Structure 1
Amino acid sequence: MRITEVLHMNGGIGDSSYANNSLLQQNVILMTKPITEEAITKLYTSLNNPKTISIADLGCSSGPNTLLAVSNIVKAVDNHRKKLRRRHSPEFQIYLNDLPANDFNTIFQSLPKHEEDLRRELGDGFGPCFFNGVPGSFYGRLFPTDSLHFVHSSYSLHWLSQVPKGIEENKGNIRMETTSPPSVIKAYYNQFEQDFSTFLKCRSKELVKGGRMVLTMQGRSSENPTCHLWELLTLALNEIIAEGFVEEEKLNSFNVPLYTPSLAEVKFIVEKEGSFTIDCIEASQIYWTGYNGTDDYEVNNGYGVARSLRAVVEPMLVSHFGEGIIDELFHRYTKMIVDSISTRPEITQFTNVIVSLIKM
């Protein structure tokens, strides 16, 4: 499985598209908005009335969330410019990055209306935005040296550059799970440490001195790296295999390249790599569904969870198992989620790790 070819969200605007099933990711961007705004306004103040600000959103995907993050950043700069009574707005060079298989066409088609809405909201004094699509892996260099001022990435860095090596014993599982041997857990962490260190090293070359990054990734709040929702997907796959839809070897050779780090692991790797100082680091909780601990929870939210995960993982599943099993797989998976969260609604709670960094 070539990660650069299959690791992308479902494109388009259909029922199982990422564009229509990314409410969780939207809520994460809004939840971390205060940290992002503080970082960009501090940067803008330190730049002393710059003519241009270069901003990169790495792992932008497609759909409504793609432009939400950069819009919030641009608006924060313009609002702060007015507070500082600076007459001239900077121009914004905006880079939208994701892997080449990402649905960039949908993004480009939405740009004219987005720019029109932005200008209407911020007024004539607002500086122009120049948008660029940048296909490629952020686990390598993407931009010239000292060319960026600000980097944002949300819910992308928990995806690894490749399936970890040395996990042949992870039979019957599709990622780190309760039954995974300790060697598999270690291999996943080693791959994350290598990838995240490479990411930091590349961005340190591309950012100007004093440039900033705000990174949000799916993480975990305990030493246990497993996730019940992923284990349910494994269970659904095992059911299909038991009934002869797919060969068992197909499952044994499939592993999802995803690692959810703890806050301590992120902090350790940043400090070990040494290119950035940590301005802020924290963990937060969010529910995938509408459940928030009150009586407004409805079991039907389980269907939304299944659609959301399908929008994320379907391209990988199709590449490995073929299209023939997908509808049946997610029919079973949906039922499992609905049954599970009717008694354990907390399984849809996720931990986010947010870190705000300054280039030394």
Structure 2
Amino acid sequence: MEVAQILHMNKGAGENSYAKNSTVQSNIISIAKPVIEEAILKCLEGSTPESMGIADLGCSSGTNTLIVISDIIHTIQAKCCSLGRSSPELTLCLNDLFNNDFNNIFALLPAFYNRIKDDVDGTQFNGPCFISGVPGSFYGRLFPRNSLHFAHSSSSLHWLSQVPPGLESNAKTVLNKGKIYISKSSPQCVLDAYSKQFQEDFSLFLRSRSVEIVDGGRMVLSFLGRTSSDPTIDDGCYQWELLALALMSMVSEGLVNEEKVDNFNAPYYAPCPEELKLEVEKEGSFIVERLEALPVDWDGGSTEEYCMYDTLEALYSARGQRVAKTVRAVVESMLESHFRKEIMDDLFRRYQDLVSDYLAKSATKYTNLVISLIKVND
């Protein structure tokens, strides 16, 4: 699987699009907002730079992208106003893989530019703002040397650059039979392969950013992880376990070839906090300022919304549907490329039912890791 060519969130604004099904990701952005604000304010300590380079890595498409950069602009403008300074020129770079729906983002920009003019208590934003799209993998260089003051990434770094070696679709030996990610039944070699691939990828990410970010610059990264050093615990992998069960139910009915399931493994990894710290220390270009692990509901819903349903059965059915739509918006491109487009509706109906049953019995949540990093002097 060529991840950089295949992986993209569902495009457009239809029923199964990422733009319509990214509430979980929006909640994750909200969780990280105070950490982002803190990092931006520290970038402005001392003299304000004439210009600031800012990158959103793995920006995807839809309103979530513009929420992040709007918050960043708001924070910069408010701080400069309080200090009686002019805002710096801002170069805002939106990065994602080549097949990302950049057109969706660009179509929203005229309204966005109008909105930020009066973004802070009626005060007009007085610094030029230049927004550009930068397609490409963040597992490698994307920007000129010393051109960034702040980099942000949300809900992206749990995606690997490739399926771990030995688990590719053309591998001669099936190592993870009947599963599509780490599972309690996966052999140790599968766990080790995923861990090693994450270590290599995250180290490359840090090395690449260390060249692009100025000394004293900062990064805030948010991605799905896990609370324990054990990668088979439910908060790190069970959403994939249920998707594998949905696929295997189709295998049992002759709708999907079992070999196809055996040969598919997701290019994904949910690390624990200790793994992040270790890779940051090993690479050596950044210092960890903050690292938090916070729970996020699978469906991104609120307690108030849950009161809308008359029965628990209706509640869990609605939650299962929301989870299925969220997951479909993210992983459908990969599944279509390996299986068939024609099975997607059936697959996600089955997935929805499995998720509904699971949520009725379990309080499992995603674990969102937020890490704030400072670039040390070369």
Give the alignment partner of residue 269 of structure 1, picking from 279, 300, 309. 279
Aligned counterpart, 2:99: 101
Aligned counterpart, 2:133: 133
Aligned-residue identity in percent: 49
Give the alignment partner of residue 173 of structure 1, picking from 173, 179, 182. 179
Q: Which runs of 5+ in 2 are unaligned?
A: 168-173
Tell whether 2:164 aligns with 1:154: no
Give the aligned length: 356
Aligned counterpart, 1:205: 211
Distance 2:343 2:51 in 1: 50
Aligned counterpart, 1:337: 355
Q: Which runs of 5+ in 1 are unaligned?
A: none
Secondary structure, aligned partner of 1:138: coil
Shift of 1:132: 0.6
Aligned counterpart, 1:195: 201
The amino acid across from 1:331 in the alignment is: R
TM-score by length of 1: 0.96
> What is the RMSD computed on CA atoms of the aligned residues?
1.5
Tell whether 2:365 aligns with 1:359: no
Distance 2:31 2:191 in 1: 29
Matches of residues 318-329 of structure 1 in structure 2 within 5 Å? 318-329=336-347
Matches of residues 1-360 of structure 1 in structure 2 within 5 Å? 1-46=1-46, 48-86=47-85, 88-122=86-120, 123-167=123-167, 168-226=174-232, 227-289=237-299, 290=301, 296=307, 298-299=315-316, 300-344=318-362, 346-347=363-364, 349-360=365-376
TM-score by length of 2: 0.91
Shift of 1:339: 1.7
Secondary structure, aligned partner of 1:12: coil
The amino acid across from 2:75 in the alignment is: A
The amino acid across from 1:352 in the alignment is: N
Secondary structure, aligned partner of 2:117: helix
Shift of 1:91: 1.2
Task: Name which of structure 1's ranges 77-86 and 201-210 shifts more when overlaid on structure 2.
Answer: 77-86
Distance 2:305 2:72 in 1: 32
Task: Name which of structure 1's ranges 188-197 and 167-176 shifts more when overlaid on structure 2.
Answer: 167-176
Distance 1:250 1:138 in 2: 29
Measured at CA, do residues 343 and 294 of structure 1 come closer, stay the same or move farther in structure 2, by a change above 3 Å? farther
Shift of 1:322: 1.4
Secondary structure, aligned partner of 1:120: coil
Does the Cα contact within 8 Å between 2:56 and 2:93 map onto a contact in 1? yes
Distance 1:333 1:95 in 2: 36
Does the Cα contact within 8 Å between 2:116 and 2:124 map onto a contact in 1? no
Measured at CA, do residues 148 and 252 of structure 1 come closer, stay the same or move farther in structure 2, by a change above 3 Å? same
The amino acid across from 2:149 in the alignment is: H
Distance 2:113 2:251 in 1: 49
Shift of 1:126: 2.5
Shift of 1:343: 2.3
Does the Cα contact within 8 Å between 2:149 and 2:213 map onto a contact in 1? yes
Distance 1:27 1:260 in 2: 18
